Amino acid sequence: MDKKTYIIAGASSGIGSELAKILTDLGNNIVALSRSAGNLGGLQNCRFIPYDFTSGDALPEVTGPVNGIIYCPGSINLKPFQRFTEQDFAADFQLNVLGAVRLIKGYLPNLKQAENPGIVLFSSVAVGTGMSFHSSIAASKAAVEGLTRSLAAELAPVIRVNCIAPSLTDTPLAGQLLNSEAKREANADKHPLKQIGQPEDIAAMAAYLLSDQAKWITGQVIGINGGMGTLMRN
């Protein structure tokens, strides 16, 4: 199998670090863009470059073909609508949407040099399922879904673009929602499968969407959510 190169934004923990592990275990090269190295220590063929997607700084230079780019940074900013400021909405949009735009624009020439390249973005179950206190993140992630479909149409047939919409996943980002056994049980009970998502559940789908097995999949928003939003709870 030919070694491929992937750029993962937000690779230091959670879904991003799990995906980095999966891809490097398959013998691929990873360029990891994150504020810190986090869980990347010890991974073979992983080049860590410090980068903050809220900084506005120029992206690090990467030369040669890139087979896939994955944008993992996100936010969970939950509160009543009346307590949100316009600055809150702008900050969520900056991180979730404009950060992804910057990543894609920056490395699009590299993607076009590769065979069957792919882009994977991340949305949220909250876009398709109305949830209290999620107005800011739902608005931002809805924009990500729109971006996914628009780019999938524009970049076909050369580059595939897909999106994953998870429900609550056991990552550092969700720490405040899962920091007690009572919270974990309550959140698990909201899902028909009665479980909290694990990073490997989401990363496995991302790895599949980047693979040659997914060469006929583009423009899709794939829910990985324990049944939330599509099934009634028992």
Integer Cα distance of 177 and 186 in angstroms:
10
Integer Cα distance of 28 and 127 in angstroms:
33
Asked whether 7 and 68 are in contact (CB, 8 A), the reply is: yes
- Looking at every residue in the chain, the average pLDDT score rounds to 93
| More confident site: 177 or 121 | 121
Residue 232 lies in a domain: no
pLDDT confidence of residue 1: 56
Helix (H) or strand (E) holding 108: helix 99-111
Does residue 78 register a pLDDT over 60? yes
The two structure tokens encoding residue 136: 């800011």
| More confident site: 33 or 232 | 33
The model's pLDDT over 146-164, given as tens digits with 9 standing for 90+, comes to: 999 999 999 999 999 999 9
Q: How many structural domains is the chain composed of?
A: 1
The model's pLDDT over 96-147, given as tens digits with 9 standing for 90+, comes to: 999 999 999 999 999 999 999 999 999 999 999 888 999 999 999 999 999 9
pLDDT confidence of residue 229: 76
Least confident of 24-33, 72-81, 116-125, 150-159: 72-81
pLDDT confidence of residue 232: 63
Integer Cα distance of 151 and 136 in angstroms:
23
Residue 233 lies in a domain: no
Residue 119 lies in a domain: yes
pLDDT confidence of residue 234: 61
Residue 230 lies in a domain: no
Cβ-in-10-Å burial (0-12, 13-18, 19+) of 111 comes to: buried
Peptide bond into 157 cis (omega under 30): yes
Does residue 39 register a pLDDT over 90? no
The model's pLDDT over 186-218, given as tens digits with 9 standing for 90+, comes to: 888 989 899 988 999 999 999 999 999 999 999
Does residue 233 register a pLDDT over 90? no
Domain CATH code at residue 42: 3.40.50.720
**Full residue range of the structural domain in which residue 97 is found:** 5-223
Integer Cα distance of 57 and 96 in angstroms:
16
